[in-house]
Structure 1
Amino acid sequence: MDNHMNIDVLSRFIEATDVSTFRSIVAKLLLPLIGLRDADYCDGPYDGGKDFSLATMPATGIRIGIQISVEKKWEPKIRNDAVKLKKNFNTNTMYFISSRRIPEGSYEKIKEEIFSQSGITINKYDNQAIASRLIENNKINEVFILMGIEEPVFSKKQQEYLSPKNEAVSSLLLFDENTKDLRQRFFKAIIMAVLSRSQDGLSRQDLFDKIEESFDIEKNQLVQINSNIDSLLQTRKITTYGNMIKLSENEKNKFLGLRKTTELELESLKSEFKIKITSLSEDIDFNTQNLLINNFLDLTIYLSGKSYSTYDNELKKNEKYKIIQEIISSRFGINKASKIFRELSEFFAASAFTKHIACAKLYDAFLNTKSSHLINALGGTESLNVYIDSSVFIPVVCGLLFEKVGNRSSQSAASLYNLIKTHKFNAIVPYDYMEEVASHIIEACRDYKHIIEEDIDLSHSGNAFVSHYSNYKKKNPDINFEEYVMVFNIRLKDISPDMPDSTFFSIRDKVTRELSSIASRYSFSTEKLTVDYLDKKIEAYKDFICNAGIERPDVLIRHDARVIEYLSGYYIPSKIVKLLCTWDKVHSMKNPDGKDGYYVMHPVAVIDYFSLAKGDGDSSVSHLLDFAMMQEEADLELSSKIWDIIARIENENLSDGQIFISAKKFKEQYMEKHANDERMAGSQVEKEWLAWRK
């Protein structure tokens, strides 16, 4: 697992130290931890500095060169020192200890070159390796002292964020073990994290109670906790004294180190936020800063939890969001509130501590999952097929063929494709959904060709091709829609509202073949799904959406029913985990907990689970970024949706200048009239437009 997220802050602190402080950290803390405690040292005479020492191991007499460096250009430094070591001391082992980050690939290449040329073996410790050792051995307080940093002090509210959950997740990511079952590893990490908070140990019952208090765990999962206690006793990671259970000394040091690191992350967040908010406004007092921090963290926890669904924009009623908005609006003005909220969301989403608590919340969902398969697949230890529907594939393919644009679907599509590109799962577009993609672009040509080049904003249209083109054209004004759709093997002149069905299907099939060919170039496969008893499945699915009060065309019902039957049936080997990635909330309603043999996730959840929950330090909290973009886009989305409905009703009529002008006036009037409505009903827009036209 990539564990950068858990050591990133301490690594940055190490990199920022001056040479004297770094030398003290290495000499007093690191060298004893890497087996050089008892060596005899003398300064190397060849460079006249204190950054080189020669250590003689007392048991063997072997001499080892130790080079300490804070230089950014580490490559020439390591080469030159290796040559001098061989020439002056005729020894073949050197430790190169750097306060910088040294990429593994670059280092391995140089290490091999030096060994082949001079026979010297280089052992490297960069800031991440040093941070990992210091955390594992609970040396964070000593680091604070050497760096002159006061131990952090947190409010009662902020203490709530520093729960054993953080250490449990950090342990899972940082200290890898030879087991493929991530869920069982997490249970073990939970047990040890809770025990690390108790100086004298806990009885088994008290341990159960503390775990229930700190983790969102169902009582039926305590059986798993019990068996993992026994497993940890066998490996001696925990021990018993009478009826008390205690953490072994080595494990206790690890978990205490993780706890101190998390505290450092929170303190860094507070310091960095002060700089950030002051750059936006100097009129934000200390208490207001803390209030914003606490509410952004609470908002992140909520967004990362199971109770929030990104399918529905219902969070404007959320207390934490309302508090943030009120503070921002009062300090920056209502007109700037949306922009400031997004900017601060981006800041928090990239923060190590925010990622840490979001990750802990994501892992909460794993605790009560009855199957380990999804968890292990997300962890890369089991095969995973991700089936992608049209709502997800369109922004992905548009971003690949042209470029990603600024809206939330395009941003998440780009992140999702980056996961596919690194071969973390098999990405499959069912053929039925590829037909839907083709139909969408035909509809874009049919309904929008008379208005898409006009001076109206369709950047948040419900038609994803229209939305992407409208955004893309803002930065690429020389392109026109006819050229845009030719990329998909479609001619704008061939599309008309009155074309016969046979023409529509012929064009759709041609475009579907082209899209499938394009998809294959970018590591997507297109599969025709064959299932039994499809008619019965269609009727059952039709009943489900009817009972849910949802209207849907028969062709889409047929497509969804086929995919659902295929994923829930026995058409795929049982060892492969199946995940449907979609923006369509109906699929989540149909199979919310994965009990039908497959799982449903929207792209934002897939991104966070695959990156954040695996400790990727370069990723941000996608749930928070997506929510911020959702709020910023709300008004623009309403405008585009009104045009969607008018375009569907009028299509060719919009070539008439008078009707087009009338439509623009209607849109402005409708938005003003319904400015305070929480939801927009398409039927209401249609009714009012038809009345307006008369």
Structure 2
Amino acid sequence: MRLEGLTSFVEALDPTSLREVARHCLRARGFEPSLSDGPNDGGVDFLLYLVGNLRAPMAVQVSTEKRWSAKLLEDAQKASKLGISDLLFVSSRRIPNTDFQGISDRILGSSGVRVQKMDQQDIAGLALDKGFHEKILAAHGIHLQRSETASLLPPDLRRDVAYACAFFSSDAREFRKTAVTEAIFMALVKGGGKLDRDALIDQVSVSLGLSENQRALVQSAIDRLLQEGRLHGKNGKVRIEERELASRQAMQSIQQANAEALRRDIEEVLAQYGKKGQSRDVAVEAIGNDLGALLMATASGMSAEVDITRHQDRMMDGVRTRLGRLESTLASLGIPAENRKPLLQELAHRASSSSFGKQLVAGELMIHLLDLQTSHLVRALQGRDTIEVVLDTPVSMPMLCNLLYGPASQELFVASQHLYDQMLAHRIRALVPRVYLEEIASHLIEAYRNYQEIIDLDPDLRASENAFVAHYVSIRIADSNAVGSFSEYLRDFGLNEALARGDFYVARDTLMRRLEATLGQYHLRCVDLPTDKSSRRWAEDTISFLQRDGDLKGRSRVVIDHDAATLAWLSGREADARVAYVFCTWDRLHFEVRRQRETTWDVLNPVALGDLLSLAANDEHELRLASPWVLAMQFSDADAMKGAEVWDKIARLEKDNLKDARLRAEARKFKDTWLEENARDPRTRSMQDAWERWKKAYLPSP
């Protein structure tokens, strides 16, 4: 069971409220606590009595401190001095089992005190099981009978099924089983606990969007649940078992509370823009509707990432439509134009990181996985096979920037950091092909040679195709003191001035060695790509065929060679059934290879892969989803991307010429004029030709 919908409320409890909740927990476990907090009790909050008259020499400490390990060591010492050999540590924090085991063994060896824990997960699980979860919500002023949160919730059974899927799932192997099971339970809950079997099958099939052939999934799931005693059947009726009914009703209460918490977040954000009173209530209602639809659309788009039959270009159209609708809503509410896109990003971030948003997106994705030609990655997650992720240059390069200077608030960097965190948490091996390491080194040299003179000219460069440029500009925008000069920044990646101004190939090869060592420190392994002739021929023929599509033309020979090497290497490993390979990229070419050639390796972008890994983790890992936020960033940064495209083109063409102040000034004017003209007439034109004409007109030769 994923309990984050309730654990977030446990973590936010103040010490007094946590102590009261702890009393309920202890009673639920069969102990009768008596309050004790005197000067001589060693900091123990309760002395426990087992059922009956037998007094147990156990102390209980209740803590809200973030540094739980230091607090536990301190309390264990106090318990030892008082002659107490058993300590129960109740914490509002998440305490990983492996970390706790190491500390408890250390305490037992040093002081002889046996330590048990009850962390936020244990508290939430016990509260749900014993029915006192509303006590936790009440401590935050949430009284469910007065809550009105419909604006955040699509008004149908599917919404409840989606939330239940994420809430009650704790095993990646159970995606499909969970979706059907929870649809059955939620249909029965809405039906008052009992339905005709045929009506139940109809409702579940409609809510999940099942085909006629898939109705058998529902039939078999009902039979399984009847055998397990979780359902009861008689005279063609199906009734939910009381314990299951109580659990789903509790889940609905928490869902409502999570929606209310998100509503409060929206109110807090809007208050910064002067929305108060009735005006704010109207705004929250409208924005809540749009955010709910955005979350559901995001799950649909993510599911297309792992469906081998769907076209990658069209998979996020629904998300973009929802983002456009949200921006229009902000405009209609009177939010000034200059504030809309930052506000849109903030709202998407709040929604995707909220318990409500995470559970809804995760559950909706589970439902979508029912109807997919499932990817090899998903099957690997379900079967616990080995997974290896191959990182393309536009993924590994932002990841490297993040690791040395911290993530920037721009979509490529947020997405790469999200993926890195998930791979590290789940011990998934990440590979950087050496041919892509060559590209990273080349980008580093080009950043120095082509952008030194313009790096501080325009904030649009935060969207530059050169990740080192984009990262530097982004972190400088966020905090001008976060980093020194551009030369100093690049030096930390191994590029000094002498190397940058010397022979290109010497500099590139030197940087490759230095970068490989740096990547290795962060568990990113650089690998060669040995291939056979037949695999290489297949890869080259495939790329040549796909490049007939006009959108896939215009690649340099070097990039084509590198992509062919990677595809050939992956093709040569198709026979290895023990490893599920994932090529992580933003490049549409590779999505087309996967779709048209039905490869055994998967292709995903970093944000979708990070979300899927988080979703598939067991319930000890916090669910983290970044897709809505990253997609909102892409939507909001569209203008900056257009501006950066102009600067990137000029930087490639002019290089050292940009030391001329007049040329830089005209470049800025050209960029503004080009964007204005393109907005009026978006027909394709040659930017290079336009720039050359501009120079002739405004920078005549002496």
> Is this a same-fold pair by TM over 0.5?
yes
Following the alignment from structure 2 to structure 1, what is the Cα–Cα distance between the partners of residues 357 and 253?
16
One-letter amino acid of the structure 2 residue matched with residue 626 of structure 1: V
In structure 1, what is the equivalent of residue 341 of structure 2? 338
Q: Which of 596, 599, 620 is residue 599 of structure 2 equivalent to?
A: 596
Stretch deviating more after TM superposition (362-371 or 438-447): 438-447
Q: Which of 242, 249, 257 is residue 249 of structure 1 equivalent to?
A: 242
One-letter amino acid of the structure 1 residue matched with residue 687 of structure 2: V
Following the alignment from structure 1 to structure 2, what is the Cα–Cα distance between the partners of residues 375 and 97?
37
Give the Å deviation of 1:605. 1.0
Give the Å deviation of 1:246. 3.3
Alignment of 1:242-391 (within 5 A): 242-283=235-276, 284-306=279-301, 318=321, 321-328=324-331, 330-371=333-374, 373-375=376-378, 377-378=380-381, 381-391=384-394
Give the Å deviation of 1:407. 2.4
Q: Which of 610, 633, 652 is residue 629 of structure 1 equivalent to?
A: 633
Would you say the 8 A contact 1:203–1:244 is kept in 2? Answer: yes
The superposition leaves residues 159-199 of structure 1 with CA deviations (integer Å, 9 ceiling, x where unpaired) of 536512211221103xx6xx955544554444444444443
Is residue 167 from structure 1 mapped to residue 164 from structure 2 by the alignment?
A: yes
Alignment of 1:473-492 (within 5 A): 474-475=480-481, 478-481=484-487, 484=490, 487-488=493-494
One-letter amino acid of the structure 1 residue matched with residue 293 of structure 2: D
Following the alignment from structure 1 to structure 2, what is the Cα–Cα distance between the partners of residues 649 and 117?
68
In structure 1, what is the equivalent of residue 409 of structure 2? 406
The normalised TM-score by structure 2 is 0.81
Would you say the 8 A contact 2:436–2:562 is kept in 1? Answer: yes
CA shift in 2, pair 1:623/1:576, >3 Å: same
CA shift in 2, pair 1:479/1:43, >3 Å: closer
The superposition leaves residues 54-84 of structure 1 with CA deviations (integer Å, 9 ceiling, x where unpaired) of 52434x9464657474775964895488469
SS of residue matched to 1:151:
helix
In structure 2, what is the equivalent of residue 133 of structure 1? 126
Stretch deviating more after TM superposition (584-593 or 409-418): 584-593
Give the Å deviation of 1:554. 3.6
Following the alignment from structure 1 to structure 2, what is the Cα–Cα distance between the partners of residues 43 and 521?
50
Following the alignment from structure 1 to structure 2, what is the Cα–Cα distance between the partners of residues 299 and 70?
38
Following the alignment from structure 2 to structure 1, what is the Cα–Cα distance between the partners of residues 496 and 532?
31
One-letter amino acid of the structure 2 residue matched with residue 163 of structure 1: D
One-letter amino acid of the structure 1 residue matched with residue 612 of structure 2: Y
**Number of aligned positions between the proteins:** 669
Give the Å deviation of 1:212. 2.3
Would you say the 8 A contact 1:5–1:617 is kept in 2? Answer: no
Give the Å deviation of 1:269. 2.0
Give the Å deviation of 1:123. 4.1
Q: Which runs of 5+ in 2 are unaligned?
A: 306-311, 697-702
- Aligned-pair Cα RMSD in Å: 4.1
SS of residue matched to 1:160:
coil
The superposition leaves residues 655-691 of structure 1 with CA deviations (integer Å, 9 ceiling, x where unpaired) of 44444433232122223333456x795x532232122
CA shift in 2, pair 1:318/1:306, >3 Å: closer
In structure 1, what is the equivalent of residue 443 of structure 2? 440
The superposition leaves residues 559-602 of structure 1 with CA deviations (integer Å, 9 ceiling, x where unpaired) of 32332343345456212111111111222233249942121111
In structure 2, what is the equivalent of residue 5 of structure 1? 4
Q: Which runs of 5+ in 1 are unaligned?
A: 497-502
The superposition leaves residues 491-549 of structure 1 with CA deviations (integer Å, 9 ceiling, x where unpaired) of 667669xxxxxx75565444434433332222122222214422243123211221354
Is residue 610 from structure 1 mapped to residue 605 from structure 2 by the alignment?
A: no
Alignment of 1:30-109 (within 5 A): 30-31=25-26, 33-36=28-31, 52=46, 54-58=48-52, 61=54, 63=56, 65=58, 67=60, 69=62, 75=72, 78-79=75-76, 82=79, 97=90
Would you say the 8 A contact 1:404–1:414 is kept in 2? Answer: yes
The normalised TM-score by structure 1 is 0.82
In structure 2, what is the equivalent of residue 649 of structure 1? 653
Q: Which of 431, 434, 442 is residue 428 of structure 1 equivalent to?
A: 431
Following the alignment from structure 1 to structure 2, what is the Cα–Cα distance between the partners of residues 598 and 646?
38
Is residue 542 from structure 1 mapped to residue 576 from structure 2 by the alignment?
A: no
In structure 1, what is the equivalent of residue 516 of structure 2? 516
Is residue 238 from structure 1 mapped to residue 231 from structure 2 by the alignment?
A: yes
SS of residue matched to 2:397:
helix
Stretch deviating more after TM superposition (423-432 or 195-204): 195-204
One-letter amino acid of the structure 1 residue matched with residue 528 of structure 2: K
In structure 2, what is the equivalent of residue 500 of structure 1? none
CA shift in 2, pair 1:213/1:676, >3 Å: farther
Alignment of 1:456-471 (within 5 A): 458-471=461-474
One-letter amino acid of the structure 2 residue matched with residue 199 of structure 1: G
One-letter amino acid of the structure 1 residue matched with residue 294 of structure 2: L
Following the alignment from structure 1 to structure 2, what is the Cα–Cα distance between the partners of residues 662 and 116?
73
One-letter amino acid of the structure 1 residue matched with residue 164 of structure 2: E
Following the alignment from structure 2 to structure 1, what is the Cα–Cα distance between the partners of residues 108 and 239?
46
Alignment of 1:137-156 (within 5 A): 137-141=130-134, 149-154=143-148
Stretch deviating more after TM superposition (510-519 or 94-103): 94-103
Stretch deviating more after TM superposition (406-415 or 577-586): 406-415
Following the alignment from structure 1 to structure 2, what is the Cα–Cα distance between the partners of residues 321 and 351?
21
In structure 1, what is the equivalent of residue 699 of structure 2? none
CA shift in 2, pair 1:373/1:198, >3 Å: farther
One-letter amino acid of the structure 1 residue matched with residue 288 of structure 2: I
